[in-house]
Amino acid sequence: MARHLITSALPYINGIKHLGNMVGSMLPADVYSRYLRQRGHDVLYICATDEHGTPAELAAKEQGIPVAEFCAQAHDAQKAVYDGFALAFDYFGRSSSPQNVEITQHFARRLKENGFIEERAIRQVYSQADGRFLPDRYVEGTCPHCGYDKARGDQCENCTRVLDPTDLINPRSAISGSTDLEVRETKHLFLLQSKLQHEVEEWVARHENDWPHLASSIARKWLNEGLHDRAITRDLDWGVPVPADTWPELAAEGKVFYVWFDAPIEYIGATKEWSDLDPENRDWKSWWYEADETVRYTEFMAKDNVPFHTVMFPATELGVREPWKKVDYVKAFNWLTYYGGKFSTSQKRGVFTDQALDILPADYWRYFLIANAPESDDSSFTWEHFTATVNKDLADTLGNFVNRVLSFSKKRFGEEVPAGGEPGEAETRLGEEIARLLAEYEEHMESLQFRKAAAALRALWSAGNSYLEEKAPWLEIKTDKDAAALTLRTAMNLIHLYAVVSEPFIPATSATMRTAFSLTDTASDQKRAAWITEAEAKSLTTLTPGIPFTVPPVLFAKLTDEDLETYKERFGGEPA
């Protein structure tokens, strides 16, 4: 079996994330990780909070607390939400960790030794009102490319173009709002990406045909425009410090590394955190340094993160001249919008992840988001669509099937899997259909096509309902009790199958379906979580007569028109 290294884009420390952030990185990475584990692969899923940079300092200043304290509190708050969504990270670290400081400084020293970092005097924005140089994100203004009036000095979040603060029209300080700005000379470190352009192009060329079009097109666009040398240090109080043994003057001035230099390195840093905390964990270097060919590295991210992961971070790794593992597959996502507009905390528009869990259990959100993941293009969240999906797919197709099968069987045969009847033509057809749909589901999961995988999963659930309607055990029981027993036993085996194959999408519900059946011996306990083979899918005989079962509570409650209106009133409906 392959070893799978999986990372999702680091959520920034400044505030709880909205649903678009969840579906654009962490949730699909979790779904994929869970699937691979069920198939028997060795999986390491790593993530962390991205804690350096301007917004963290600004948020801490606004709250009147030290930035280190702010980040510690915000990390714990975010981790609680991700636990609530049942994200099964192997480790969720912090980019401010000593491990990340150590490895980031090591990378910088090696890049200097290899001639890919140099010190340059540059002209930088200085704020008279604030009495300091302003790092790029401390400068806001109008994007010269698209006209967006809240562009930051490093990147326009509207058109995703990378910027310098001096590119902005009508610039202002993000700290004070002052426009009393001037340009002064100061010194910074530059990563000489221009010297690495050819190597990055060759590396991308070896991979881009395997990546989704979104990822490969963004990488190719950057390369076609030419890689520019970029400053990788900033004038901030919070960040990975420039090492004094290598750049004493800059260290004395308090320079720190640019957040986009150290943040991707935190994937490695967090893995070392994981290993350091538990000596029984596999040595972290076996995943990252001279990793053998069985390690496959997959990254999950929204499209605005793609340039840094397909160009800038690979350039850094190439320039270090050490055998660090580079990404094999970049799964990029478009935007999830809210009624076609942006999620906005200030305008109280859209659903944020902590609010989502206050309303409904995680499985409602997990299924809907993955079933509507913005893979080929942007997708829009609406309460109408969410309500319809929950009611049709989760409550009716899956939940109602489980409830009526188990409730009817308990009423007619007691609380054990019923005996009687021999599989016939209907069961043969069903088994072949289930095996076909299962293969389709596996194919889409293997290729990371999540919307298609969700459609195949939904089709598996629907097949059970079609079988039940065809056999009609509520009629069979009147004339042929053994036939009704066979139908219900087959349907219970479908429930067991659904519990296994649905686990990546709806883990809590899957656990409820599994534990409805009292499988107590070791072999059966293992069978609960093991992936369904083609033979098992065709035969549908894993659960044998006599196994005790219980009827679980309603798996998914239907959402009413009143619920819909309440949600729209609380979170905003269509934008004006």
Instruction: Give per-residue pLDDT as tens, 242-276.
Output: 999 999 999 999 999 999 999 999 999 999 999 99
Instruction: Report the percentage of the chain scoring pLDDT > 70.
Output: 97
Q: Which class for 501: exposed (0-12), middle (13-18), buried (19 or more C-beta within 10 A)?
A: buried
pLDDT at res. 528 = 46
CA distance 10 to 266: 9
Q: pLDDT per residue over 33-54, tens digit each? A: 999 999 999 999 999 999 998 8
Please state the residue numbers annotated as binding site: 143, 146, 156, 159, 345
pLDDT at res. 348 = 66
CATH code at 3-106+260-380: 3.40.50.620
All CATH 2.170.220.10 domain ranges of the chain, comma separated, are: 115-252
CA distance 444 to 375: 13
pLDDT at res. 345 = 59
Closest CA to 384 of 137, 503, 168, 559: 559
Please state the residue numbers annotated as binding site for ATP: 345
Read off the pTM. 0.92
pLDDT at res. 304 = 92
For the segment 375-388, the average pLDDT, to the nearest whole number, is 95
Fold of 115-252: Methionyl-trna Synthetase; domain 2 (2.170.220)
For the segment 387-403, the average pLDDT, to the nearest whole number, is 98
Fold of 382-539: Isoleucyl-tRNA Synthetase; Domain 1 (1.10.730)
Alpha carbon 565 to its chain centroid, in Å, reads 29
For the segment 277-305, the average pLDDT, to the nearest whole number, is 90
Which tokens is 451 given?
Answer: 């919307």
Weakest mean pLDDT among 130-144, 414-428, 479-493, 542-556? 130-144
pLDDT at res. 237 = 86
- The band of 575, judged by pLDDT with boundaries at 50, 70 and 90, is low
Q: Which class for 196: exposed (0-12), middle (13-18), buried (19 or more C-beta within 10 A)?
A: buried
Average pLDDT, the chain: 93
All CATH 1.10.730.10 domain ranges of the chain, comma separated, are: 382-539
CB 63 within 8 A of CB 21: no
- The band of 524, judged by pLDDT with boundaries at 50, 70 and 90, is very low
pLDDT at res. 346 = 56
CB 134 within 8 A of CB 125: yes
All CATH 3.40.50.620 domain ranges of the chain, comma separated, are: 3-106+260-380
pLDDT at res. 527 = 46
Weakest mean pLDDT among 169-178, 392-401, 520-529? 520-529
Please state the residue numbers annotated as binding site for Zn(2+): 143, 146, 156, 159
- Give the contacts of 39 (CB within 8 A, at least 6 positions apart): 1, 531
